[in-house]
Structure 1
């Protein structure tokens, strides 16, 4: 349980990162990226921590590898990830938590392409949201705030009225830049970075109350 208490105020909407936050796809992603890194002569152990929370094309682009087309490589990686979904699972309690929310009051905001996000959610048996903001929807991915600002706008609320569920530093930075409140999910990280935010390992210790004034997230005692 978090050492920092959950905010008690109601929120107009809840925004969820996907990978590492409501589903665990780290094993799948790291298998695919490990093969790619080995093929390009990279040190896999030092490279893998850099792939989480950002768009694949940005991960490749910042390596500045000679003769590598980031767009083409990212597309190939996405295809490989879509073929490798056998062990993708929900973060404990996430399915029930999402199903308890009013469908018009939450969204998924992911750095994954939409097709991959949809496939991974289906593989984990997770509900599809009425609204998803995916990699192709924004020009600047996390840690830029664009994705969270877009999700809030499409839900008809202001970003500071949202509670964002995140797990990775890039996503936390994006939510902070958007002015949202952050709750960090630590299930898939050995060294989670909460950066002064409330943090919980999963959703089994959380419940929601939806009322006219908004949605409250409550820590079970």
Structure 2
């Protein structure tokens, strides 16, 4: 019986095949074709066809590809050489059968396309808007390609798939490794995380992972089987969860937030005896959003106020721009700069940090930049801005009927470039390293590197865009976030300011209040 659990869940981990996409049936068909072809040659007159209902559900569903082959062959008392990872589909080995199945799957996928469960799409859109952290897991090595083809890559903060399982030597389901790794990268406590699975092995793995709630999705009447496997709740449609659980309780509508200028006295009281640490976004926060990024110039008044603040407290600018670019725009030596969403950091007294893993994907960015310039050169108004650790494709000045062409080109490039993922902003699409690193991680790294301990320092972050939400969330319980304007989604900010002019006025008042307190 389904239980009502009105708890403040903040993260959801979803299996891909069978929960998000309808590719589980395509996988099953590919397995059937592969095994039937193999078994006919192997068993001859004793040939017994691969049974999707029994064999697929028992030995294959939710299991890493090679493990599934081994389990099924064992059920038929067939011994087969393991082979080598580079075995072709013609090789009669475990590795060869794996390659054969994958080739069949990709061909079927090309013929039938990727179909998404509408209830899941509706649910994850709603959860994303509430600020819920989302992870997708899959034993398939084709996960990244499938998500990109379906236009879903940007919905997920974390992806753990067959490629990562192999690279990090993680055990497949029913062991919990894939869920544990997804949870680690989401950075949300187990008691605030939900796992959604449609496979028996997935439910079993979810229970072993120790999260508070495992949801079984059973659109085709598998409810009892999933309950027996340990699912806490079983639904046919993910929208049913709205009446059973509560998600994203901390996210709020920006319009409902109190005004930071009107509440400066209350903010100073909130900071209390601690010393504030100020982190600022640049575009849209310190300067207005403009058609040409080069025209986003910081006013002399703003520069003077920030310089004064940096003389009495730690001030950092965390921007999507290249570090050198944002440093030249601000032009102050007593400020910490984190460029490319925190991949490239520098500051006073020799502070220097570049994300090593981010550097490893620079060749992919080079190639993607070359491809996009060719694909988009015929579209008037598009601007391709290459940064060291990202490519920003601006479509603010593109005619409305050509915007989808720009988005399609970016999605296609994301699909073929391993190591890159899509990012979004205000009239911007980005290609950036597919790593668990963002403005929030950069902010907390800086707090640690600068020895700004939580007991003595109070972080304040000011940002305007969706990409700033990671930083707002990072300071939610340790300090406070201030959103500038609105990005039309739920926010972890505590206060709001309407525009960059109000930001500068707020900073001026903050400087005066802090200066008086420190005198």
Q: Same fold (TM over 0.5)?
A: yes
CA deviation after TM superposition for structure 1 residue 122, in Å: 4.1
Alpha-carbon RMSD across the aligned residues, in angstroms, is: 2.5
TM-score by length of 2: 0.38
2:188 to 157, 171, 174: 157
The whole-number CA distance in structure 2 between the counterparts of 1:136 and 1:4 is 35
CA deviation after TM superposition for structure 1 residue 105, in Å: 0.7
Is residue 37–residue 47 contact of structure 1 (8 Å, CA) maintained in 2? no
TM-score by length of 1: 0.83
Residues 200/22 of structure 1: CA separation in 2 closer, same or farther (3 Å cut): same
Match of 2:227 in 1: 194
User: Quick check: 1:74 aligned with 2:98?
Assistant: yes
Match of 2:116 in 1: 90
Match of 1:185 in 2: 217
CA deviation after TM superposition for structure 1 residue 100, in Å: 2.0
Residues 127/210 of structure 1: CA separation in 2 closer, same or farther (3 Å cut): same
Residues 160/80 of structure 1: CA separation in 2 closer, same or farther (3 Å cut): farther
Is residue 25–residue 89 contact of structure 1 (8 Å, CA) maintained in 2? yes
The whole-number CA distance in structure 1 between the counterparts of 2:181 and 2:25 is 29
Match of 2:456 in 1: none
Match of 1:51 in 2: 60
Q: Which runs of 5+ in 2 are unaligned?
A: 40-47, 82-91, 252-519
Equivalent runs, 1:1-221 vs 2, <5 Å: 3-41=1-39, 43-45=49-51, 46-49=54-57, 50-62=59-71, 63-64=73-74, 65-67=79-81, 68-85=92-109, 86=112, 88-102=114-128, 105-113=133-141, 116-128=142-154, 129-138=156-165, 139-180=170-211, 181-190=213-222, 192-195=225-228, 197-207=232-242, 209-212=247-250
Is residue 140–residue 161 contact of structure 2 (8 Å, CA) maintained in 1? yes
More divergent stretch after superposition (77-86 vs 163-172) = 77-86
The whole-number CA distance in structure 2 between the counterparts of 1:209 and 1:168 is 23
Which SS does the other structure have where 1:34 is aligned?
helix
Q: Which runs of 5+ in 1 are unaligned?
A: 214-221
Is residue 107–residue 130 contact of structure 1 (8 Å, CA) maintained in 2? yes
Higher relative contact order (CA 8 A, sep 6+): 1
More divergent stretch after superposition (39-48 vs 162-171) = 39-48
| Equivalent residues, number | 210
Which SS does the other structure have where 1:132 is aligned?
strand
Is residue 176–residue 182 contact of structure 1 (8 Å, CA) maintained in 2? yes
